[in-house]
Amino acid sequence: MTDQKDAHRVAVVTGASRGIGAEIAACLAGAGRHVVLMARNRQGLEALQAQLEDGGGTAQISPCDVTDQAALEKALGDVASEHKRLDILVNNAGITRDNLLLRMADEEFDDVIATNLRSAFVACRAALRPMMRGKWGRIVNISSVAGLVGNSGQANYAAAKSGLLGLTKSIAKEMASKNITANVVAPGFVQTDMTDVLPEPIRAMAVEHTPMKRMGSPADIAAAVGYLTSESAGFVTGQVLAVDGGMTMS
């Protein structure tokens, strides 16, 4: 059951047009938050907005390329200005440009860092001032088990996702006295469009290395985000929650 204090919170979700981002947006809307859907794909955002509103939630779209710093800062500023608040930020936008390190082009590395890490830094910085004014805030950065243990062929992706851990913990320490929390959710192998295109042997290997012997679902990740952005999680900050079926347990 949602705490009444959670109602009317304004949440921004990046990478919200599909997959994990769309499920997170649906979870937050279902908890009574007004959700700002952010991604490059306007058509996908409009479809999700209609779905959320048909389900009784409230949402608006904010088409934006998160690698465009000026556009991202303006989009977040517009949200705070329109609603006089910005309570929740979920940095979920991400891409992959997989390649073995010796074959990886500079552009493949830079593109992933820009989308998966630098955009989160820019978004957090822009969101913190309205959160401080409201004396309440929740930041959740979506990392990956690759950021915890690395992954062959994903030096760029693992570096970006690992970087989110340090970014988040630093924000948590700086903002703890302001009633603003910052946490990381690190998904394991999750059934999405991104994993659907992987060869079956790779998918089978990932499942084999997951103690629960199955893939996760976007709903598994959304449930973790739902908790970390709630009133009930006010004493949880600087943490990394691996939602991975036990893949990274030690």
Contacts of 6 (CB under 8 A, 6+ apart): 31, 32, 33, 230, 231
Q: What share of the chain is helix, strand, coil (3-state, %, to 5)?
A: 50, 15, 30
Taking the C-alpha atoms of residue 195 and residue 18, their distance in angstroms, rounded to an integer, is 13
Q: Which of 113, 33, 129, 116 is nearest to 76 (CA)?
A: 129
Taking the C-alpha atoms of residue 245 and residue 162, their distance in angstroms, rounded to an integer, is 19
Residue count of the chain: 250
Q: Is 157 a residue of the active site?
A: yes
Among the listed residues 109, 157, 161, 164, the single catalytic one is: 157
* Catalytic residue ranges: 157
